Structure 1
Amino acid sequence: MSTFVADRSHFEHDSMPPPVTAAGRTSPTAADHTADTASSIDHVAEKAVPAEKLSKRQKVKRHCARFWLWWLIGTIVLLAILLPILFKVVLPAIVQDIVSKQEMPVKGGSLIALSPTELRMTLKTVLDTPLGADLDPINLYLYNKDTPQYTPFTNLTIPGQHVKGYTEVNVAEQTVTVSNGDEMIKFFNKVFDQEEVELSVRGDTTVRLGALSAPAHIDKTVKVKALNKLQGFAVTNLQLLVPANGEGQNVRTTVNLPNHGDLTLGLGDLGLNLLSGKIVIGHVTCKNVMLAPGDNAIQCNGNLYFQVLFDSLAEIMASQSSALMTGNLELGAQGNSTTINGEHIPYVEEVLKTKLLVTRVPIGQLVADVITSFTGGDINIADIVPESLNSTLIESMVNHWSAYDDMPGSGNTNSTTNAMAARKRDAAQKKKVVTRDNDMVKRNMMWTMLKMGMAMSKR
């Protein structure tokens, strides 16, 4: 019986002994059981190892992989809502903001009268955009902002442009129609009077950003340098025509018409009345007047009304008193007519009729110009003045200046001899004294002209 007793001394108390067969070997069932037990122990050990932590990207990726269909549907719905807002609200608002911020300064151009209802225009301006864009042609309407009701007086077409950053825009020459004569006159009146004139423009265009496009509205008021009352107007030359030319004109003069603005102005044929005070003493016509920016020497031909000069000599001399005291003659010019090919241009003519240009011509320059008129021939000033008028002229001058000399404190008498003696004393005194008062200047000028008259009468 001791043969079949198994030795259990090497087994742990908590382990089950494998079944033993009669031959003393472990049965197959017991071995399999032992292997399964070991495998279970290994499996439990594997599950005890903690899982690897996922990154945010991996989590998102796994989330999208699981719910991609829902995300696709949500994206489509969101785009269906936002894209119309983007294209119909946001983009147009951005484009309009950029357009509204454009200053559109006028850098140059021209405004040329062609007829009572037409002008020829060019324009140079600047656009400055933060990104490249294409502009459709713009029909730009010009109007006066201070008119209560929007009333354009003409319109100008700006061709399509590609703009990017600082871009110069040149509007080529085009003929435009005057759509409202009263508003055009109002605008030209401001151009003449003001240093800077406000010009309001309005129009619509389409701005294209590649495949995208948006409408834009333009409503701007820009400042344009203007004529500033033609300050600097001057008579630079005067020539008497003896005999009169084929058109019956007896005077040719050159005047300076300064243009202080940036636009070249074409005004046509200007007819100007010449005035001394309020008396019209002549008329000249300046052909095809074109005022470029800066000074413009314009030649004019016409007539001096000598009969009016002599008939109104006393009144003329009275109106010249302040100018004579400084050694000058004051001459005024006022618009009479403006024509092109015989047609009156009302939007220029009506403005110039209300404007008076005044200049002072140094007597020395005037006398030199008159003398130069006769330098080349035998004709002299006395030839164009009848003897009776010449005598009247000298007598009027003597009486006028003698009255002045008889004023208290003048130190002179009615005697021409005494007056001449006084003039000699004054001449001697002038060698010692550089500056004299206005009375001396006036007397110098008076007697110089008187001696010229006396010389003419002797001839």
Structure 2
Amino acid sequence: MSTSSDRKVEEAGHISHVQLTRGQRVKAHFRKWWWAHLINFCVFVVVVMIVAVYGIIPPVAQKLIDKTTLSINAFSITSPTGTSFKLGMDGTIKGATGPADHAVIDSFPVKLFLDDVRVNGDIRPILEFPVPKAHGGGDIHVLQNDIPISITDEGALDQYASRLMDSVEMRVGLRGRTTIHLGAIHTDVNYNEVVQLKGLNKLTGMVITKYTLHTNNSEGNVGGDVLIPNPTVTTIEMGDVGLKISYKGAAMGTGVIKNLILKPGNHTYGFMSHITPDDNILKLATVAIQKDSLTIGSNGTSINGVKIPWLSKPLETMESTVPINTDYFKEKGISPS
């Protein structure tokens, strides 16, 4: 028979198992395995960052570049030789706002080409020039002056010069690859832009606004001014441009516009010509009185006596109908420039 003290001992020796709540079990688990969860979290963050950097940010950055547009305000070709020239460009990149406000684009080389010209499916670059480093936030002004350009593909340049001379409009592409910085993150992007530009349209609209007879002048016997419209944004240093002058299919003589720098807008340039024989001088006077037109072509251009082939070729294929109208400016109510 057990005694009262024995029952107390038995009760004291009995172990009671208390059931933990769900919250207590979770807390106990994290107290024990916190380090494993920390590692998992860090791995997750790294994976998300990798996906963001390599999977999300590059397409976003590319879209920012693709949304921008380039307008060319001025373009210049100066100091031409048979193998080189100097290039100038004044342009504006628009659309670098919103997420691109704080973006920075590294300087990069860009290739210029005719948009509709391909060789075996690839573009045919005319030239390559550097685009300076740029910061986003509103319009970006791009100004480059006197960039030395070496002619590496004369055929491509011939095509460009002919297209510029003959076309009413032309599409020019620019292509390059650069790095864009979005805060501390950077990624490579492609720059692809196509710009619609006006061409010289075969110099349509030329008018001889003044002519003068010269005697005992070794440079010629008829001089004057010719208005040459330039509807483009391009300034071209063309050197001494040779002229072939005819009337109704009959040759009348040759001439030259010396040191021609063709500027945008309507400007007059002085010329000197040799009209032979003397009967043609009388015929020229009749053309002027009747405000009739001559046909003027070119035998190319030269600088310091050296012919510039890529500038000469488009000129040599050109023939323009040019009226003689000494009342041109009076009729238009404008002053010569």
Q: 2:96 aligns with which of 124, 129, 134?
A: 129
1:160 to 125, 133, 145: 133
**Structure 1: runs of 5 or more not aligned:** 1-57, 367-459
Task: Please list the CA deviations of residues 78-108 of structure 1 after superposition, one character each: whole Å capped at 9, or x if unmatched.
Answer: 1232222221232111111111222211111
**Superposition deviation, residue 215 in structure 1:** 0.7
Q: CA deviation at 1:168?
A: 1.6
Structure 1 residue matching 2:274: 3-state secondary structure: strand
| Separation in structure 2 between the aligned mates of residue 64 and residue 264 of structure 1, nearest angstrom | 78
- Displacement of 1:195 in angstroms is 2.4
- What amino acid does structure 1 have at the position aligned with 2:63? D
Cα distance in 1 for partners of 2:68, 2:205 equals 34
**1:200 Cα shift?**
1.2
- Over 3 Å counting, the alpha-carbon distance change for 1:340 and 1:70 in structure 2 is same
For normalisation by structure 2, the TM-score amounts to: 0.79
User: Which residue number corresponds to residue 261 of structure 2?
Assistant: 290
Between structures 1 and 2, the one with greater helix share: 1
Change (3 A) 1:308 1:71: farther
Amino acid at match of 2:272: N
2:167 to 169, 174, 194: 194
Residue number in structure 2 paired with 1:89? 55
Name structure 2 gaps, 5 residues minimum. Answer: 1-22, 329-337
Using the TM superposition, give the Cα deviation of residue 113 of structure 1 relative to its aligned residue in structure 2, in angstroms.
Answer: 4.6
Name the SS of the counterpart of 2:229 in structure 1. Answer: coil
Cα–Cα, structure 1 residues 118 and 308, in superposed 2: closer, same or farther, change >3 Å?
A: farther
Aligned to 1:205: 178
| Structure 2 residue aligned with 1:222 | 195
Aligned partner of residue 139 in structure 2, secondary structure: strand
Shift, 1:284, TM fit: 1.1
Go from structure 1 to structure 2 and tell me whether the alpha carbon gap of 1:139 and 1:327 turns closer, same or farther (over 3 Å shift): same
Quote the offset at 1:255 in angstroms.
0.4
TM-score normalized with structure 1 length = 0.59
Moved more, 261-270 or 63-72: 63-72
**Counterparts in 2 of 1:107 and 1:178: CA distance versus 1, 3 Å:** same
Q: Which has the higher contact order (CA 8 A, sep 6+)?
A: 2
Cα pair distance change 1:248/1:265, threshold 3 Å: closer
Quote the residue 2:323 is aligned against. 360
Measure how far apart 1:69 and its partner are: 4.1
After superposing the two structures, state which structure 1 stretch, 272-281 or 218-227, moved more: 218-227
Q: Matches of 2:212 and 2:198 in 1, distance apart?
A: 34
- Structure 2 Cα separation of the partners of residues 341 and 286 of structure 1: 14
Partner of 1:144: 114
1:355 Cα deviation from its structure 2 partner: 0.8
The Cα of 1:139 is off from its aligned counterpart by: 0.8
Q: Distance in 1 between matches of 2:281 and 2:227?
A: 28
Counterpart amino acid of residue 241 in structure 1? H
Check whether the contact 1:333–1:358 (CA below 8 A) recurs between aligned residues: yes
Query: What's the % identity of the aligned pairs?
Result: 22
The aligned residue for residue 176 of structure 1 is: 149
Structure possessing the higher radius of gyration over alpha carbons: 1
Q: What is the RMSD computed on CA atoms of the aligned residues?
A: 3.0
C-alpha separation in 2, matches of 1:355 and 1:63: 92
Amino acid of the structure 2 residue aligned with 1:73: I
1:272 paired residue among 243, 260, 264: 243
Deviation at 1:267, TM superposition (A): 1.4
Instruction: State the secondary structure of the residue aligned to 1:114.
Output: coil
Q: CA deviation at 1:193?
A: 2.1
Task: Give the whole-Å Cα distance in 2 for the aligned partners of 1:164 and 1:117.
Answer: 39
User: Per-residue deviation at 1:136?
Assistant: 1.5
- In structure 1, how many angstroms separate the alpha carbons of the residues matched to 2:144 and 2:272? 36
Contact 1:152 1:179 in 2 (8 A): no
| Aligned length in residues | 298
Q: Which amino acid aligns with 2:294?
A: L
2:275–2:281 CA contact under 8 A, matched in 1: no
- Residues 221-263 of structure 1, C-alpha deviations (whole Å, 9 max, x = no match): 21122222323210011111012x2x34211121011110112
CA distance 1:343–1:76, change in 2 (3 Å): same
Alignment partner for residue 344 of structure 1, among 297, 307, 332?
Answer: 307
Q: Equivalents in 2 of 1:63, 1:70: separation in Å?
A: 14
